[in-house]
């Protein structure tokens, strides 16, 4: 599960984490420009959503010196998952984690990321700006956020955090190839599932200064446990009170097992994949269980999981209020 830590590096990193989690809510806004104004930021590069529903934007604050690349990773489904087969489909197929691809932007021996993450990363590279700059994300960042005291935050929630890790790995490598420093980049992820194996995660940790990368997980949030073996084993124990995975039965490949046993079976599938979360400042906190999903049913278990995954839990931990109401949605579906 990682090491429980607290942000002790100073007020700048705390303030950056707070603005990062607030900006991660903007993709769900019906009035993004108005909500950005509340935060003192404005969108200067706005992605056109791809066919796979990937979306990102670049914003700048009122000083003109602080930029943020915010990556949306998931969109709400029409309903929560109704049975294990549907959930397994979400994990094994939509998340794209049962196959892996070599990651060429790392110096470790065998860096790999999930196929799903690689597809989303490619979509990021090809994404166009609806504001008409004619520049890709990479080109815009290189032109506007390097040198002259500029600072850049890269952040995302859920699968957005997953892709934030991947894109940061690529972008820092790009800067290195051009002889540019990456010390002005801060990375913040919230509830991000693991993007790749240990060699990918270790390389990402090495690319940024220790105090510039922060990863947040609510211990009752199942999404960042995927598809890490130890995380899936831990998920099998959730929750300590109804709804409890060990007390809920599901049908898995024609066999009736508890939901907890199904997660253990899934953990076995991923044991040899070696998925790993980055370690730098991996911060774990706990949110109390919500009281209205308290029956031992599949629906209530995933309802509780969706509540725990809400971005508002991460904002509350960091002591800020989101500018957009995105609290307590059903479990988010990957893009």
- In a domain, residue 307? The reply is yes
Position 147 scores a pLDDT of: 87
CATH classification at residue 140: 3.40.50.1820
pLDDT tens-place string over residues 275-298: 999 999 999 999 999 998 999 998
Position 86 scores a pLDDT of: 44
Q: 186-190, 266-270, 313-317: which has the minimum mean pLDDT?
A: 266-270
**For 125-154, what is the mean pLDDT?**
96
- The count of domains in the chain is 1
CB 51: neighbour CB atoms within 10 A? 6
- In a domain, residue 219? The reply is yes
* Model confidence, pTM: 0.91
- In a domain, residue 253? The reply is no
Position 325 scores a pLDDT of: 61
- In a domain, residue 91? The reply is no
- In a domain, residue 120? The reply is yes
Q: Range of 312's domain?
A: 11-80+97-224+277-334
- In a domain, residue 2? The reply is no
- In a domain, residue 42? The reply is yes
- In a domain, residue 192? The reply is yes
Between 17 and 302, name the one with better pLDDT. 17
pLDDT tens-place string over residues 237-263: 999 899 999 999 988 667 899 999 989
Secondary structure in 3-state letters for the chain: CCCCCCCCCCHHHHHHHHHHHHHCCHHHCCCHHHHHHHHCEEEEEEECCCCCCCEEEEEEECCCCEEEEEEECEECCCCCCCCHHHHHHHHHHHCCCCCEEECCCCCCCCCEEEHHHHHHHHHHHHCCECCCCCCCHHHHHHHHCCCCCCEEEEEEECHHHHHHHHHHHHHHHHHHHCCCCCCCEEEEEECCCCCEEHHHHHHHHHHCCHHHEEEEEECCCCHHHCCCHHHHHHHCCCCCCCCCHHHCEEEECCEEEEHHHHHHHHHHHHCCCCEECCCCCEEEECCCCCCCCCCCCHHHHHHHHHHHHCHHHHHHHHCCCCCCCCCCCCCCEEC
The overall longest dimension of the chain from CA atoms, in Å, is 62
Between 303 and 150, name the one with better pLDDT. 150
């Amino acid at each position: 599960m990682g090491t429980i830590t607290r942000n002790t590096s100073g007020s700048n990193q705390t303030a950056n984490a707070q603005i990062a989690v607030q900006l991660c809510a903007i993709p769900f806004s019906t009035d993004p420009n108005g909500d950005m104004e509340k935060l003192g930021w404005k969108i200067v590069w706005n992605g056109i959503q791809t066919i796979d529903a990937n979306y990102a934007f670049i914003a700048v604050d009122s000083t003109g010196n602080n930029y943020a690349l915010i990556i949306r990773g998931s969109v709400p489904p029409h309903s929560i998952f109704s049975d294990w087969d549907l959930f397994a489909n979400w994990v094994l197929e939509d998340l794209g984690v049962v196959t892996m691809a070599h990651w060429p932007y790392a110096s470790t021996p065998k860096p790999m990321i999930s196929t799903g993450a690689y597809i989303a990363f490619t979509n990021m590279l090809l994404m166009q700006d609806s504001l008409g700059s004619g520049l890709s994300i990479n080109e815009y960042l290189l032109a506007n956020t390097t040198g002259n005291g500029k600072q850049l935050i890269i952040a995302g929630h859920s699968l957005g955090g997953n892709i934030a890790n991947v894109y940061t790995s690529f972008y820092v490598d790009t800067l290195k190839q051009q002889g540019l420093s990456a010390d002005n980049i801060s990375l913040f992820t919230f509830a991000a599932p693991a993007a790749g194996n240990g060699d990918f995660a270790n390389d990402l940790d090495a690319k940024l200064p220790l105090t510039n990368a922060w990863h947040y997980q609510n211990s009752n949030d199942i999404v960042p446990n995927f598809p890490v073996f130890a995380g899936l084993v831990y998920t099998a124990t959730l929750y300590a009170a109804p709804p409890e995975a060990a007390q809920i039965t599901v049908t898995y490949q024609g066999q009736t097992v508890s939901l907890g046993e199904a997660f253990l079976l899934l953990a076995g599938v991923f044991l040899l994949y070696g998925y790993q979360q980055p370690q730098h400042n991996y911060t774990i906190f706990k949110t109390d269980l919500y009281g209205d999903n308290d029956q031992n049913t599949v629906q209530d278990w995933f309802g509780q999981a969706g509540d725990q995954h809400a971005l508002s839990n991460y904002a509350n931990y960091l002591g800020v209020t989101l500018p957009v109401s995105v609290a307590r949605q059903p479990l988010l579906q990957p893009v």
